């Protein structure tokens, strides 16, 4: 009986724990993304999140640190998000020319957060746009496999 209650507690703690990247993970992500640094010379990755949510803010700053460790500049978007949108999970969007980078970021985050509602897309619709990573609210318990809109799929 104790083993099953311990397992249930551990599973619950994992579901409600904030998303976070350790320093070691951020260093590893930086090394993995560093081959893309030349591709982004003179350009920045756009990072967006809901500043009203502390968990999303901390996670976004950790993602920003990871990308900067790769030697890639990051631009913080207008994070006030006053237009009433409610982003859940992580969405990565970018132009076709950046598809390998978009997929690599998706793969890294999906590996560390396999139950996160996450999607990525690189297509002509975003040509001329920066790669944008949107960190939304952590999905509520029980909705951690919430599907993203059909337009947001891994490249």
Per-residue pLDDT reduced to its tens digit, 68-92: 999 999 999 866 555 556 678 899 9
Q: Hey, which of 7-11, 31-35, 52-56 has the most confident mean pLDDT?
A: 31-35
Residue 113 maps to a domain: yes
**What is the number of domains present in the chain?**
1
Residue 152 maps to a domain: no
Residue 114 maps to a domain: yes
Statement: residue 151 has pLDDT above 70: no
Going from the C-alpha of 143 to that of each of 107, 136, 149, the distances in angstroms are 21, 13, 14
Least trusted range by pLDDT, from 6-10, 125-129, 135-139, 145-149:
145-149
Residue 6 maps to a domain: no
Higher pLDDT, 104 or 13: 104
Instruction: For residue 133, give every residue at least 6 positions away whose Cβ sits within 8 Å of its Cβ, in sequence order, or none.
Output: 45, 46, 47, 48, 63, 90, 91, 92, 105
Q: Give the span between the Cα atoms of 113 and 109, in whole angstroms.
A: 6
Per-residue pLDDT reduced to its tens digit, 81-129: 555 566 788 999 999 999 999 999 999 999 988 877 888 888 888 888 8
Is residue 3 exposed (0-12), middle (13-18) or buried (19+ Cβ within 10 Å)? exposed
Statement: residue 34 has pLDDT above 80: yes
Owning domain of residue 87: 21-135
Residue 75 maps to a domain: yes
């Amino acid at each position: 009986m104790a083993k099953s209650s311990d397992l249930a507690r551990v599973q619950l703690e994992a579901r409600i724990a904030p998303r976070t990247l350790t320093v070691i993970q951020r260093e590893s992500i930086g090394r993995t993304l560093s081959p893309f640094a030349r591709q982004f010379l003179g350009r920045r990755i756009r990072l967006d999140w809901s500043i009203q949510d502390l968990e999303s803010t901390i996670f976004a700053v950790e993602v920003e640190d990871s990308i900067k460790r790769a030697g890639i500049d990051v631009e913080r978007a207008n994070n006030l998000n006053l237009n009433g949108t409610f982003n859940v999970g992580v969405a990565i969007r970018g132009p076709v020319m950046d598809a390998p980078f978009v997929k690599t970021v998706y793969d890294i985050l999906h590996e560390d957060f396999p139950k996160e509602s996450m999607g990525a897309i690189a297509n002509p619709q975003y040509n001329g746009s920066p790669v944008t990573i949107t960190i939304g609210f952590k999905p509520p318990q029980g909705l951690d496999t919430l599907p993203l809109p059909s337009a947001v799929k891994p490249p």
